[in-house]
A and B are shown apart, each in its own frame.
Chain A
């Protein structure tokens, strides 16, 4: 009996170890699920982010086709990293709308010239007020919005190549 008690610390430790190992092996478990999923987009109407393209309003998301809403900024470094993936999504047939956070028209034009322009409309959010209303805490973030203007999915951080099929699947689901 006493001998068994002596082994209990080791057993308890091994149990902890298993929890650690499971925790560390599950990087996808670290995704923070959004509180905004299933909610309608807040009502907004943003000025155009640059002269060449129209601005963005919540009404644009009610035309029956699901779209991606990309929150970006020309000053944001990970946004550069995700630019090729956005182009890929566009080529796969996704409609991508954009909100430019705390940005200037000439910087946006520059940025899109350099890294490609996947966007249909670009709204300018100079005070981050829409960003906050969307429950987005940083740039870049990407939302999947269904044809009725409801948020279906939120992707936090830059879109990596492996996220492209995920987002396309989410778009398909939102149909």
Chain B
């Protein structure tokens, strides 16, 4: 019954999405107030029904109802409850249901919370959101029904990929999906504004919090995903330029560009067409990402469901939505009046450079991700594009971007003098030089990219604090604090990346119990190997004692064997200390008492994720600041 109720809720939600689209479209065309007024409540009810369907799926997973095909394929009664819970979205159908749920909830949130936008624009936005929803409801109901029954029900489920049995899974995909799908709001806003011919600073101010919120979640999702891959895969790396990683990076790059251009539009009423374009591109990248992951068109460690029919379905949706939005853009944006102009040397000028660089990096990542596909369809050749391409192509642009990021916030809006700018950047510039000198002295022979990374990180760190200089800190608006923190976070993260790539020590040995070895500042003793058992796995666990001066601690890397489905995973033992991480992985035995031990000493690697968290927190501060100011503005209007 639960499964049928879920399916019914989903069908009803799809019908309401269709209603929402028709009411909105006809209401706008014929200016029917009664129809326009109905759109908001319909959007809310549609979201509630989808939420109900999603909740019912979670209940099915928690109860391990094996008469449902999806549950039988992905659940297991011996699995801890958290993973039964997370298992609901750890598969194709469930994750698509989550996708649609977030889409509907985001639409309902716009319907409930958005107060400042002109009614026609708002309704057009909600209609656009319903149109997107409709396509993905169809995809769920016709090509990926999560509630399909299985008769007869098997006696036991087929478990969950043990790699995914990790607390990280419970939070990583939802965070990322909220970010991905949150960008749909920006997309719908752009379509709504084009339909209602209402592209201006009021529209930008309304769209900005939504973009910020989605961007924060994307930042968190990418940061968490990177850390998850780092400790769970046991390969010692934190970014692999894997197609699925790129699929999450591309919307982030577009959203970051959008975040900055929407500020220009909101504050100075410039970059109108460009901002609309970016809003379309950002969510398009989310959909392309979903398509890449869900169609199995690119081979990746993440690609679970390889089903060309589903791929064709999503491809058709992409064609309709992105193609439609771009056609609308081309047809309508010419009628958008040009916004206000500005001098090349100005805050706007720096933000334009920021946008161009981010877009160029986005292009590089997109081409690198899709190149294997293009090469295959043109010449039938199989190849993959790896880190060397991405680092060499995107690295230098990222460094220029950092320089822009250092200078931009110190420029005035509209027009600035290079001479007065010089006095503001002299201190960060000095620090950059000092950092260059210090790094070259302390680490002679360091490769050029990490060298510049560390140097620029120091400069950006100094420059990002500079906007607070000589300001009354208590009266500095919250969103300025947010910008400072986010930019500082970028510097911290880049410093971590540079340090990791330049100073990591790696060591692979075949050790007998009792042997000692050295890595970085540590001396490691291989003490024991013992079998241990867990709730649904058994493992071989190594004990390694690490000493450094007087500090002494134990590391326990494991090789886990899960029995449903039979899989081996590597649980790296990671110890974080103030200046880096010690990372130990247990490998195979040679049956003669020797065990492979792979060790890394990674100085300051944690800065990568700490920086990511700072960026997200900065975004949260900015969001809070903007919302507070908005509320005050609304209150003023109601009083006036």
Known: A20-B315, A22-B377, A26-B377. A13 touches B323 (CB 8 A): yes
- B312 within 8 Å of A (CB atoms): yes
- B385 within 8 Å of A (CB atoms): no
- B401 within 8 Å of A (CB atoms): no
Chain B residues with CB below 8 A from A33, complex form: 382
**Partner of B315 from A3, A13, A24 at Cβ < 8 Å:** A24
Chain A residues with CB below 8 A from B249, complex form: none
Considering the complex, which residues of chain B in the window 302-320 have a beta carbon less than 8 Å from any beta carbon of chain A? 308, 311-312, 315, 318-319
Q: Is the CB of A24 within 8 A of B297?
A: yes
Q: Is the CB of A20 within 8 A of B322?
A: no
Considering the complex, which residues of chain B in the window 215-273 have a beta carbon less than 8 Å from any beta carbon of chain A? 273
* Distance between Cα atoms of A22 and B380 in the complex (Å): 11
Q: Is the CB of B373 within 8 A of A7?
A: no
Chain A residues with CB below 8 A from B330, complex form: 3, 6-7, 9-10
* Distance between Cα atoms of A6 and B280 in the complex (Å): 13
- A2 within 8 Å of B (CB atoms): yes
- B334 → chain A closest CB, angstroms: 6
* Distance between Cα atoms of A14 and B295 in the complex (Å): 18
Chain B minimum-CB-distance residue to A17: B319
Q: Is the CB of B370 within 8 A of A16?
A: yes
Q: Is the CB of A27 within 8 A of B382?
A: no
Q: Is the CB of A19 within 8 A of B373?
A: yes
Q: Is the CB of B370 within 8 A of A14?
A: no
- B291 within 8 Å of A (CB atoms): yes
Known: A2-B334, A29-B380, A32-B382. A20 touches B329 (CB 8 A): no
- A62 → chain B closest CB, angstroms: 32
Contact with A along B328-344 (1 / 0, CB 8 A): 01100110000000000
- B327 within 8 Å of A (CB atoms): yes
Chain B residues with CB below 8 A from A9, complex form: 277, 281, 326, 329-330
**Partner of B334 from A6, A24, A27 at Cβ < 8 Å:** A6
Q: Is the CB of B377 within 8 A of A10?
A: no
- A116 within 8 Å of B (CB atoms): no
- A151 → chain B closest CB, angstroms: 19
- A72 → chain B closest CB, angstroms: 18
Contact with B along A1-44 (1 / 0, CB 8 A): 01100110110011011011111111101001100000000000
Summarize B's interface: helix, strand, loop or mixed. helix
* Distance between Cα atoms of A6 and B380 in the complex (Å): 33
Chain B residues with CB below 8 A from A10, complex form: 323, 326-327, 329-330
Chain A residues with CB below 8 A from B284, complex form: 13
Q: Is the CB of B373 within 8 A of A20?
A: yes
Q: Is the CB of A17 within 8 A of B318?
A: yes
| Size of interface on B: residues with Cβ below 8 Å to A | 28
Considering the complex, which residues of chain B in the window 370-409 have a beta carbon less than 8 Å from any beta carbon of chain A? 370, 373-374, 376-377, 380, 382
Give the size range of A's interface with the partner. 20 to 34
* Distance between Cα atoms of A26 and B284 in the complex (Å): 24
Chain A minimum-CB-distance residue to B377: A22
Q: Is the CB of A21 within 8 A of B374?
A: no
- A4 → chain B closest CB, angstroms: 9
- B387 → chain A closest CB, angstroms: 22
* Distance between Cα atoms of A21 and B312 in the complex (Å): 8
Q: Is the CB of A23 within 8 A of B376?
A: yes
* Distance between Cα atoms of A29 and B376 in the complex (Å): 8
Q: Is the CB of A29 within 8 A of B377?
A: yes
Known: A9-B326, A32-B382, A33-B382. A23 touches B297 (CB 8 A): yes
* Distance between Cα atoms of A17 and B377 in the complex (Å): 12
- A56 → chain B closest CB, angstroms: 25
Chain B residues with CB below 8 A from A26, complex form: 376-377
- B324 → chain A closest CB, angstroms: 10
Known: A2-B334, A3-B334, A7-B330. A19 touches B370 (CB 8 A): yes
Chain A residues with CB below 8 A from B326, complex form: 9-10, 13
Contact with A along B274-308 (1 / 0, CB 8 A): 00010001001000000100010100000000001
- B377 → chain A closest CB, angstroms: 4
Chain B residues with CB below 8 A from A24, complex form: 295, 297, 308, 311-312, 315
Chain A residues with CB below 8 A from B281, complex form: 9
* Distance between Cα atoms of A27 and B312 in the complex (Å): 12
Chain B minimum-CB-distance residue to A18: B377
Chain A residues with CB below 8 A from B277, complex form: 9
* Distance between Cα atoms of A10 and B318 in the complex (Å): 12
Chain A minimum-CB-distance residue to B324: A10
- A5 → chain B closest CB, angstroms: 9
Chain A minimum-CB-distance residue to B382: A32
Q: Is the CB of B374 within 8 A of A19?
A: yes
Chain A residues with CB below 8 A from B295, complex form: 24
- A59 → chain B closest CB, angstroms: 30
Q: Is the CB of A13 within 8 A of B322?
A: yes
- B598 → chain A closest CB, angstroms: 21
* Distance between Cα atoms of A26 and B308 in the complex (Å): 9
Most B Cβ at <10 Å: residue of A3, A9, A24: A24
* Distance between Cα atoms of A14 and B330 in the complex (Å): 14
Chain B minimum-CB-distance residue to A19: B374
Chain B residues with CB below 8 A from A14, complex form: 323
**Partner of A17 from B323, B329, B374 at Cβ < 8 Å:** B323
- A102 → chain B closest CB, angstroms: 13
Q: Is the CB of B308 within 8 A of A27?
A: yes
Chain A residues with CB below 8 A from B376, complex form: 23, 26, 29
Chain A residues with CB below 8 A from B382, complex form: 32-33
* Distance between Cα atoms of A14 and B291 in the complex (Å): 15
Contact with A along B477-512 (1 / 0, CB 8 A): 000000000000000000000000000000000000
Chain B residues with CB below 8 A from A25, complex form: 308
Chain A residues with CB below 8 A from B308, complex form: 24-25, 27
* Distance between Cα atoms of A3 and B334 in the complex (Å): 7
* Distance between Cα atoms of A20 and B295 in the complex (Å): 10
Considering the complex, which residues of chain A in the window 123-173 have a beta carbon less than 8 Å from any beta carbon of chain B? none
Chain A residues with CB below 8 A from B334, complex form: 2-3, 6
Chain A minimum-CB-distance residue to B318: A17
- A171 → chain B closest CB, angstroms: 24
Chain B minimum-CB-distance residue to A15: B374
- B495 → chain A closest CB, angstroms: 36
* Distance between Cα atoms of A150 and B311 in the complex (Å): 39
Chain A minimum-CB-distance residue to B309: A24
Chain B minimum-CB-distance residue to A24: B311
* Distance between Cα atoms of A2 and B281 in the complex (Å): 20
* Distance between Cα atoms of A24 and B316 in the complex (Å): 12
30 contacts between A and B (CB under 8 A): A3-B334, A6-B329, A6-B333, A6-B334, A7-B330, A9-B330, A10-B327, A10-B329, A10-B330, A13-B284, A13-B322, A13-B323, A16-B370, A17-B318, A17-B323, A19-B370, A19-B374, A19-B377, A20-B291, A20-B318, A20-B373, A23-B373, A23-B377, A24-B295, A24-B297, A24-B311, A24-B315, A26-B377, A29-B380, A32-B382
Given contacts A9-B281, A9-B330, 4 further A-B contacts (CB under 8 A): A3-B334, A17-B318, A19-B377, A25-B308
A-B pairs with the 6 shortest C-beta distances? A22-B377, A10-B326, A6-B330, A7-B330, A23-B373, A24-B311
Residues of A at the B interface (CB closer than 8 Å) are: 2-3, 6-7, 9-10, 13-14, 16-17, 19-27, 29, 32-33
